[in-house]
Amino acid sequence: MTKTIDLTLSGLGNVGRNFLRIIETKSDRLAADYGLALRVVAVADSSGCAVNMDGFDPHALRLRKEAGGRVADLPEYKPGIPLATFLALPGFCDFLLEASPVNLSDGEPGLGYVRAALGAGISCVLANKGPLVLAFHKLHRLAARKGAGLAFSATVCGALPVVNIGQRDLIAADISLLRGIFNSTSNFILDEMAGGCSYADALAEAQRRGIAEADPSLDVEGWDTANKLTILANSFLGVDVSLADVAVQGITAISTEHLALHRAQGNILKLVAEARQTETGYQLSVAPLPLPATDFLAGCSGWEMGVEIHSDLYGKQFYKIWEREPLPTAIVDPNVKTTRCSK
């Protein structure tokens, strides 16, 4: 018997639209292998929200957004009613997929959506880092109190399941070191610069290829990497930390001369996130570091992101992903805890 899962999608950008594409292309597989059918009952973008309890057609919705359409133009648009109002209704849907823009000032709109949904016992899957960076433990406590699931593997390294590995697989591990390259924009820029480009030209090339945002400061100043480190540290290093606990240095002061100097010494400069265990707790940092060419992270080039975890029980582990498009990021574990079951 197929179980229908009703879901709300906040954000219909790269991630949201790729999620719709996955529903379109994998619905037979989801039904056959997992006994699941996904039904999108509510959607929101910057123009507002729309609700259709019979389910939107994912294909039509995706095409409409790809053609520049707005939720406010859908017949099911709910003028004047914020999405959070629906999400606060217990049983409104089974889970929320939160893929609205990152906001590190107050977390909105994503934080409000997630709070409303969890408060109503609705499970949440986040691609958006903002709510977790600002309120990781508060949201987890709320989820636990309401019996809702909270999943966020997509917030760090796209489809690389770092969060899942740390939380699920490294049982009872004492992690002495976690290091990673978490931001492909800065990694791409450093690679280009190592090839002789200036910082400005490398950034312009990243923007031309659509890798870097028009405002790339979160990436190149190291904050995106620091956000991800904060999420990982909170999720499986057993700490309660915020961005303020991370010493952050980006790549904006790096010159081609710096890179050439390191190369002459056999090193490659990378923007590295690090959580190192000390006698007083974990020391968290993000900084450009010269790495020997043989180092695992030195081998993460261009589009690649990687993580290295050293622990007492599991030795040294190395994970790497090449992710050019956000499609892998948009995959949701079909086993995500849902509040309602068969229809």
Instruction: Kindly list the catalytic residues.
Output: 228
**Site track 310-329 with ligand NAP (rule: CB under 6 A), x = hit:** ----------------x--x
Task: Please tell me whether residue 284 binds ligand NAP under the rule CB under 6 A.
Answer: no
Instruction: Pick left, alpha or beta for residue 52 (phi over 0 → left; psi -120 to 50 → alpha; otherwise beta).
Output: beta
Pick from 5, 7, 15, 40 the residue near ligand NAP by CB under 6 A.
15
Distance CA 195, CA 208 (A): 18
Pick from 5, 8, 10, 133 the residue near ligand NAP by CB under 6 A.
10
- What tokens were used for 185? 């924009």
Residue type (1 letter), 236: F
Q: Which stretch binds ligand NAP (CB under 6 A): 27-35, 40-48, 189-197, 292-300?
A: 40-48
Q: How far is the CB of 108 from ligand NAP (least distance, A)?
A: 8
Distance CA 298, CA 310 (A): 17
Total interface residues for ligand NAP by CB under 6 A: 25
Which residues, including other chains, have CB under 8 Å from residue 3's CB and lie 6 or more apart?
35, 36, 37, 341, 342, 343
Distance CA 77, CA 309 (A): 46
Q: Which stretch binds ligand NAP (CB under 6 A): 19-27, 51-59, 151-159, 314-322?
A: 151-159
For 100-132, give one letter per residue: b (16+ CB within 10 A) or e. bebbeeebebbbbbbbbbbbbbbbbbbbbbbbb
Residue nearer to ligand NAP on the CB measure, 128 or 230: 128
Nearest partner of 98 among 152, 25, 137, 161, judged by Cα: 152
Nearest partner of 187 among 77, 304, 16, 326, judged by Cα: 304
Pick from 7, 44, 116, 307 the residue near ligand NAP by CB under 6 A.
44
Q: How far is the CB of 328 from ligand NAP (least distance, A)?
A: 9
Of all residues in the shown chain, the one whose CB is closest to ligand NAP is 13
H or E stretch covering 40: strand 36-45
Q: How far is the CB of 260 from ligand NAP (least distance, A)?
A: 31
Pick from 38, 50, 84, 100 the residue near ligand NAP by CB under 6 A.
100
Nearest partner of 53 among 7, 2, 3, 116, judged by Cα: 7
Q: How far is the CB of 8 from ligand NAP (least distance, A)?
A: 10
Q: How far is the CB of 27 from ligand NAP (least distance, A)?
A: 21
Positions touching ligand NAP (CB under 6 A) are 10-16, 44-47, 70, 99-102, 109, 127-129, 154-155, 158, 326, 329
